[in-house]
Structure 1
Amino acid sequence: MADKPSVLFVCVHNAGRSQMAAGWLRHLAGDAVEVRSAGSAPADRINPVAVEAMREVGVDITAEQPKKLEYATAQASDVVITMGCGDVCPVFPGKRYEDWKLDDPAGQGIAAVRGIRDEIRDRVQALVNDLVRGRA
């Protein structure tokens, strides 16, 4: 792993879970980690309920856009975290992989998305502790 680890969050649409996770990682780790996100079948825009849920906790993800998962992006990442993308996520030897089982916020109301947001925050905080604080 380089001096600055890189993390790629992947979900199907890159519009909810992976965008919230990327927002949390930027918020909690600052410049200590390179943050990427992508989707196997990206949506046209980020889920507005996910945007609102993150805004409630002071994390702005409005500038982000869903992106297609590219081979080179996955290959260049130190840690790949999947969230329901199944077999479409590429696997590279020597990479750290985690599959986070999380409900999909698509079609959910704000109360349900808040719960998903908070679970993602807890997982990202543990990741930050491992990647950043564990290297100090």
Structure 2
Amino acid sequence: MSTPVVPSVLFVCVHNAGRSQMAAAFLTDLGGPRVQVRSAGSAPAGTVNPAVVAAMAEIGIDISAETPKVLTAEAVQTSDVVITMGCRDACPYLPGKQYLDWQLDDPAGQGLEAVRLIRDEIESRVRLLLADLGITPRP
């Protein structure tokens, strides 16, 4: 019996403090152990955006312990799918990887109402990504 292949997804935004953190949290929550999830930033911030933490907490996902991480070539090399969010040129391009660019508003400096809209858009895209990967979301 063969071991099922677990796809690896890397979410990248400039500061790794908002969009990529939300996307990684949704994919982790909905995909569980059937997908490997990472996030990083080309110029990581010191902390995750508090409005992003609050917006995710509203729907029962706690990302308060997450910290922004720097984007490395290794993170890209070990990922099957690389999803950029506003930092396309800063992300190393390696042949054989699937690249997607999600055009999303940056939650930096925005109020909770605006962050909720971005959060909901990210959740929709993550659900579509799971379908593309052949993974049924957990309830």
Scaled to the shorter chain, the TM-score interval is: over 0.9
Work out the number of aligned pairs and report it.
133
Q: CA deviation at 1:100?
A: 0.1
Cα separation, 2, equivalents of 1:97 and 1:117: 21
5+ residue gaps, structure 2, are none
Aligned to 2:57: 55
Tell me the secondary structure at the aligned position of residue 39 of structure 2. strand
TM-score (norm 1): 0.95
Moved more, 61-70 or 113-122: 61-70
Corresponding residue for residue 27 of structure 1 = 29
Greater than 6 Å deviation, 4+ residue runs? none
* Residue ranges of structure 1 left out of the alignment (5+ in a row): none
Distance 1:106 1:51 in 2: 12
CA-to-aligned-CA distance 1:54-73 (integer Å, 9 cap, x gap) = 00011111121100000011
RMSD: 1.1
How far apart are residue 130 of structure 1 and its match?
Answer: 1.3
Deviations 1:89-119 (A, max 9, x none): 0111110000000000000000000000000
Per the alignment, residue 98 of structure 2 pairs with: 96
Which letter does structure 2 place at the counterpart of 1:55? A
Q: Which residue is equivalent to 1:112?
A: 114
TM-score between the two structures when normalised by the length of structure 2? 0.93
Q: C-alpha separation between the residues in 2 aligned to 1:123 and 1:62? A: 22
Partner of 1:81: 83
Q: What is the aligned-residue identity percentage? A: 64
